[in-house]
């Protein structure tokens, strides 16, 4: 078969698999998978964006192959996805499950275009994780696989097989307001020009992920578990994070500095990324092989190095290579091989730090103790001298 004689046009922003699902219903087929086999196609291959089957689809539907690319989600192994010239991991772009607005699909079916039962179509823009709220109906989207995973990508076929109606999914939505953050990311997903801003430096997934987790920490603190928040709250988190990024890198660094200051107020003893930045650090470490994440980690690491007693060789979101900017009593003692208690006493005696300074909260510039270390060595107060004396005595 060279082409189909009974066709409905693929809608703008429609997923290719959604179009095949509608064609299957138009021809009275049980499922998109069965319909594809009749045409010599493999629907599962279309679902993963296989070039050979996408080309065959274009031929059968008399489409220009370049024009169907925006409806294809390519999958690479179990983890990676590619759509609209953007790279994603599977948790940031749906492929087998489908996200949709039931209100939009009901309105599609109520329109006068095409045959009933073959009008509702799935938008590509709905599938990225950042799209959570329908900007037409102001409700959250639904993520589902009607009919089960054997109907993955075939919403209309799955609904028919399960005896369900689109109205059955309306109750799963809740009222929510679409945000400027979502609108910005939709524009980037569709390769539309956006206003110049700091986020434009990051590839799409890294920009989205950083923004939504940043907002979650702003709203709920560093112990937040983003995946446990409901869809409407996740949308608000992304909005708050986006509002901060609009103010530029200086404002972002200022907020990250506030997290460092909060760390000093907590009774945690060990300095690590989780203790300082919490969920933000944990999430940014999840996809080190994806473009853009290294830039985010570098930003967090720079704020940490500037404001925490960490230095070369320490591990904080990777091995620190920058020169040390701050010491604590313990890090200075370790570097200069002197007891922390002795160093503290010497610094108090010389007026470098006030009496009552604690091991945990006291930080200082390395040069402040330069004049103390050499006299301490001459007095035999360093570990190096003490070790030599002990060896001689034994």
**DSSP letters spanning 143-155:** EE-TT-GGGTT-H
pLDDT at 375: 81
Q: Are 185 and 205 in contact (CB under 8 A)?
A: no
Residue 117 confidence (pLDDT): 87
pLDDT for position 384: 52
Which DSSP category does 285 fall into?
T
Task: Please tell me the distance from the alpha carbon of residue 58 to that of residue 72, in angstroms, as a whole number.
Answer: 12
Q: What is the pLDDT of residue 269?
A: 64
Specify the pairing of strand 327-328 against strand 363-364. Answer: antiparallel
Q: Tell me, what's the pLDDT at 278?
A: 96
8 Å CB contact between 311 and 350: no
What span, in angstroms and rounded, lies between the C-alpha atoms of 131 and 126?
6
| Of 302, 138, 166, residue with least CA distance to 232 | 138
The rounded distance, in Å, linking the Cα atoms of 192 and 339 is: 60
Predicted local distance difference test score (pLDDT) of residue 394: 44
Closest of 229, 231, 121 to residue 178, by C-alpha: 231
79 half-sphere exposure, CB direction, 13 A CA radius: 4
pTM as predicted? 0.90
Burial of 377 (0-12, 13-18, 19+ CB in 10 A): middle
State the 10-residue block means of pLDDT for the chain, 394 residues long.
Answer: 74 95 93 94 96 93 84 94 96 94 96 87 97 98 95 95 95 97 97 92 98 98 97 98 97 97 82 95 96 97 94 91 89 87 89 85 88 80 53 45
C-alpha 224/C-alpha 278 separation (Å) is: 8
**How far is residue 210's CA from residue 202's CA, in Å, rounded to a whole number?**
10
Residue pair 120/129 in contact by the 8 Å Cβ criterion = no
* DSSP structural state of residue 97: S
Question: Which of 285-288's residues contact partners 24+ apart within 8 Å by CB, and which partners?
Answer: 285/317, 287/89, 287/205, 287/206, 287/209
Q: Which residues contact 107 (CB under 8 A, 6 or more apart)?
A: none
Q: At what angle do helices 231-245 and 180-189 cross, to 10 degrees?
A: 80
Which residue blocks in the chain are alpha helix, DSSP H? 16-26, 32-38, 43-47, 51-60, 102-110, 155-162, 180-189, 204-220, 231-245, 249-265, 273-277, 279-284, 293-307, 329-336, 340-349, 370-378, 383-393
Question: In angstroms, rounded to a whole number, what is the distance separating the alpha carbons of residues 125 and 261?
Answer: 40
- Output the pLDDT for position 3: 64
């Amino acid at each position: 078969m060279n082409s189909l004689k009974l066709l409905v046009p693929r809608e703008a922003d429609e997923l290719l698999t959604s179009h095949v699902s509608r064609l299957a219903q138009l021809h009275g087929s049980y499922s998109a998978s069965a319909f594809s086999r009749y045409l010599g196609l493999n629907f599962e291959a279309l679902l993963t964006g296989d070039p050979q089957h996408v080309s065959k689809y274009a031929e059968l539907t008399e489409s220009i192959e370049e024009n169907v690319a925006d409806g294809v989600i390519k999958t690479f192994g179990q983890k990676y996805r590619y759509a609209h010239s953007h790279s994603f991991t599977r948790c940031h772009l749906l492929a087998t499950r489908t996200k949709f607005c039931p209100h939009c699909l009901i309105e599609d079916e109520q329109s006068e275009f095409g045959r009933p039962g073959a009008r509702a179509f799935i938008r590509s823009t709905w599938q990225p994780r950042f799209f959570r709220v329908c900007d037409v109906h102001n409700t959250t989207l639904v993520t589902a696989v009607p009919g089960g995973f054997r109907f993955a990508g075939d919403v209309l076929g799955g609904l028919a097989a399960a005896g369900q109606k689109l109205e059955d999914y309306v109750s799963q939505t809740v009222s929510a307001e679409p945000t400027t953050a979502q609108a910005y990311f939709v524009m980037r997903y569709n390769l539309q020009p956006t206003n110049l801003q700091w986020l434009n430096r990051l590839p799409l997934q890294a920009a989205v992920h950083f923004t939504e987790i940043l907002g979650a920490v702003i709203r709920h603190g560093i112990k937040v578990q983003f995946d446990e928040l409901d869809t409407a709250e996740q949308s608000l988190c992304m909005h708050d994070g986006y509002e901060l990024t609009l103010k530029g890198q200086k404002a972002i660094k200022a907020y990250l500095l506030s997290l460092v200051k909060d760390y000093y107020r907590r009774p945690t003893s060990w300095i690590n990324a989780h203790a300082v930045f919490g969920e933000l650090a944990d999430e940014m470490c999840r996809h080190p092989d994806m473009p853009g994440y290294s830039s985010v980690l570098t930003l967090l690491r720079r704020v940490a190095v500037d404001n925490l007693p960490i230095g070369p060789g320490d591990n904080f979101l990777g091995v620190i290579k920058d020169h040390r900017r701050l010491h604590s009593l313990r890090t200075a003692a370790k570097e200069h091989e002197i007891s922390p208690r002795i160093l503290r006493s010497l610094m108090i005696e010389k007026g470098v730090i006030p009496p009552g300074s604690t091991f945990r909260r006291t930080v200082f510039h390395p040069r402040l103790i330069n004049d103390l270390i050499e006299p301490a060595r001459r007095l035999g107060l360093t570990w190096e001298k003490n070790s030599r004396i002990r060896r001689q005595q034994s």
